[in-house]
Amino acid sequence: MLENQHPSNPKNWHQWSLEQMVTPKMIGILLLIIVLLGLSARNTEMDKAAYKTGEAVLAVIGLSQSTVLDGGASFVKQAFPFTIESRRSTNRIVDFDRDNLPLFSHIEVVEEQRYDALNETYTAEIKEYLVTPFGYLWKVLVKMWETIEMGFWGTLLSVMISIPLAIFSAKNYSPNKFTYLGARFILSFHRAMPELIVALFFVLMYGFGPIAGIFALAMHTSGVLGKFFADEIENAPKGPQDALLSSGANKVQVLRYAVLPQVFPSYVGYVQYILERNIRTATVLGMVGAGGIGMELKGRWDMFAYSHVATILLVILTTVMLLEYISQKIRAKSM
Amino acid sequence: MLEFKSTSVVYGDGTKAVDNISLTIKEGEFCVLLGPSGAGKSTLMGMLNGLVTPTSGEVALDGVVMTKQTKRTLQQQISMIHQQLHLVPRLSVLHNVLSGKLFAVPTIKSLFKLFDNKDQRRACMLLQEVDLEEKHLYRRASALSGGQQQRVAIARAFMAEPKVVLADEPVASLDPTVSRQVLNSLKLASHAHNATVLCSLHQIEYAIEFADRIIAMRKGQVVFNGVPSELDDAALKAIYGDEYRAATAEERAASTQDKTLFVPSKLTSAVA
């Protein structure tokens, strides 16, 4: 009776077929992968990387010379101490008022040796500097705040662009096939354009400054957000939507009452992540002139002012870590 | 008044889901549909909410043939209560109830949750009628218990002032006590708003306890149509046939398990 209900396997356990775990085919594939990796390593100079790194390791114990270490050392030597004060030569300041100095600042008089190339001699020269303690740090912090604001505005614009696009590119709410395909195309175009490259174009159009950076961030992340939003709308539970539709509500109302409340928490999560990411990315965008702290970093780097660069890096590092800490706290609270 | 005039529904593969049914259901009646799975209860209800079109004969609501009405009028005159509730979990109780009347609210106003005071008051009234308190008003639907959610669904169904309310196994996933509360709420609401309720059930004891009228189907035909007191053993055998006996045997075998049974115990002993 029982055997009729559950037809059992006629084979006994010692007849069961077992599979070979290592086959010639697998070994062949493994060899092919190794060969391809080798070819790719030649292309990408991975052999040179290994050689140079090995050399650097030897140099550490004093057995060799290394350009890698020299490069690193040239930064580290000049990076300390960090430049925190700002120092400007007084004769370069227009309308310098000696009796009315800016807040917290003082004048420093230094004797500098100056090399005279014609006579091949050193001459002493008295120079005056206006020194503001923490002046440079303050400047960097202001720039950092500008960067955070860029990230914020980039995210705001990106949400405003992505919500309508997401509704049009959700299959079940797009009015017709053309709007669906169109919106999907725009979203993937936005996603495909890296911020740095878009920022170059926006700098060309809007000039140097944060506008270009904000637009670049908004464009790229709207593609990312729009895709997330659209997928969420498509995957929202169908039951409540059908219930509202069957009681005569129109599509916009169903979207508002049965979809939005359900997808809202994950939207907030995505936007929070995008905001965090945008602030991080905004620090780099200044490298192409799109505003924020990156512009200051690039300028100082090109002047080999590594002690200034070190201050900037420290501020960026602190901000990003703080940012991640805060957003982790918020996430833990909202869960 | 709801009339089925020699209505039949034949599906594409030749199965007669509903076979030449003639019925008249009075206004404001709480009417329970009984019958084994596949008897045609869902098809019968489907003809009312426009999901199924009769192959022959017609269905008329207050003398107007259903198929000749627009989809919009159908939606406004007939409400559904689903087995899986289908409330929006993260939306407040009040707005879940109000969402039953979205068809009457301009889209722009509804985007900002601007409902007329009159509608909001009606929602409150309906919620009180199904025994929910003021403190539940702005709670999320997901924060309520299963029975409370089903009562919110009842309030939503009556929000649009419907002529007919269709309830598809509304107590399928609830325990006996809560099931009674829910069915009682449904019955009271039906009488208070003079709306015909067609409620499909699998529990015969609830049908006897609450129904004004029981309509039972088997293989697409109506095999019983009358008041609960007329539902005797002969009628039950006519409805469930062999399956009825099988269920009782199964029940005896599983008598150690304490759960809501397919057939109530007093009826089982009567048959045995």
Which candidate, B172, B169, B222, places its Cα nearest to that of B199?
Answer: B169
Distance, in Å, from the CA atom of A158 to the CA atom of A241, rounded to the nearest integer, reads: 27
The helix/strand/coil state of A124 is strand
The whole-number average pLDDT for the span A308-325 is 92
| Angle, in degrees to the nearest 10, between helices A195-206 and A260-285 | 70
pLDDT per residue of chain B (272 residues) written in tens, 0 to 9: 888 888 888 888 888 888 888 889 988 899 999 888 888 888 888 888 778 888 888 888 888 888 888 888 888 888 888 888 789 999 999 999 999 988 888 889 888 888 999 999 999 999 998 889 899 999 999 999 988 999 999 999 999 899 999 998 888 888 888 899 999 999 999 999 999 999 999 888 888 889 999 999 888 888 888 888 888 777 787 788 765 654 555 554 554 444 444 444 444 444 43
pLDDT tens for A85-129 read: 888 887 787 777 777 777 778 888 888 887 888 888 888 888 888
Subunit contact B102:A264, Cβ cutoff 8 A: no
Confidence of residue A7 (pLDDT cuts 50, 70, 90): low
Q: What local confidence, expressed as pLDDT, does residue A122 receive?
A: 83
Subunit contact A257:B90, Cβ cutoff 8 A: no
- CB count, 10 Å around CB of A120? 7
Subunit contact A250:B87, Cβ cutoff 8 A: no
Sign of CA dihedral B153, B154, B155, B156: positive
Inter-residue contact A166 to A233 (CB < 8 Å): yes
* Tally of residues, chain B: 272
Higher-confidence residue: B82 or A188? A188
Subunit contact A253:B110, Cβ cutoff 8 A: yes
Subunit contact A250:B160, Cβ cutoff 8 A: no
Instruction: Name the average pLDDT for chain A.
Output: 88
Confidence of residue A335 (pLDDT cuts 50, 70, 90): low
Residue among A239, A252, A261 whose CB faces B91 most closely: A261
Subunit contact B75:A239, Cβ cutoff 8 A: no
Sign of CA dihedral A89, A90, A91, A93: positive
The whole-number average pLDDT for the span A37-50 is 93
- Token reading at A231: 């997928």
What are the residues of chain A with a beta carbon less than 8 Å away from any beta carbon of chain B? Answer: 239-240, 242-244, 246-250, 252-253, 256-258, 261-262, 264-265
* Residue listed under structure tokens 């905001």: A275
Q: What local confidence, expressed as pLDDT, does residue B104 receive?
A: 87
Q: What local confidence, expressed as pLDDT, does residue B242 receive?
A: 64
The neighbouring-strand residues paired with A132 are A86
Q: What local confidence, expressed as pLDDT, does residue B260 receive?
A: 44
Distance from CA of B101 to the nearest CA of A (A): 7
Residue from B51, B74, B88 to probe the interface with A (highest A Cβ count within 10 Å): B88
The whole-number average pLDDT for the span A150-160 is 96
Subunit contact B105:A253, Cβ cutoff 8 A: yes
Q: CB distance from B245 to chain A under 8 Å?
A: no
Confidence of residue A29 (pLDDT cuts 50, 70, 90): very high
Inter-residue contact B167 to B81 (CB < 8 Å): yes
Locate the domains of chain A by residue range: 38-79, 86-133, 136-334
| Residues from chain A contacting residue B103 (CB–CB below 8 Å) | 247-250
Residue among A246, A258, A265 whose CB faces B49 most closely: A246
Higher-confidence residue: A300 or B234? A300
Q: What local confidence, expressed as pLDDT, does residue B266 receive?
A: 44
pLDDT tens for B91-150 read: 999 999 999 988 888 889 888 888 999 999 999 999 998 889 899 999 999 999 988 999
Residue among A240, A243, A256 whose CB faces B111 most closely: A256
Distance, in Å, from the CA atom of B155 to the CA atom of B222, rounded to the nearest integer, reads: 30
* Range in A197-201, A321-325, B259-263 the model is least confident about: B259-263
The whole-number average pLDDT for the span A142-167 is 95
Q: What local confidence, expressed as pLDDT, does residue B205 receive?
A: 86
CATH superfamily of domain region B1-77+164-237: P-loop containing nucleotide triphosphate hydrolases (3.40.50.300)
Inter-residue contact B239 to B216 (CB < 8 Å): yes
Subunit contact A248:B82, Cβ cutoff 8 A: no
Locate the domains of chain B by residue range: 1-77+164-237, 85-161
| Residues from chain B contacting residue A242 (CB–CB below 8 Å) | 86
Inter-residue contact B87 to B141 (CB < 8 Å): yes
Distance, in Å, from the CA atom of A317 to the CA atom of A298, rounded to the nearest integer, reads: 16
Distance from CA of B160 to the nearest CA of A (A): 8
φ and ψ at residue A307, rounded to 5 degrees:
-70, -30
- CB count, 10 Å around CB of B238? 14
CATH superfamily of domain region A136-334: MetI-like (1.10.3720.10)
Nearest CA in chain A to B70: A248
| Residues from chain B contacting residue A247 (CB–CB below 8 Å) | 75, 79-80, 99-103, 156, 160
Q: Which letter does DSSP use for residue A292 in this model? A: S
Subunit contact A257:B95, Cβ cutoff 8 A: yes
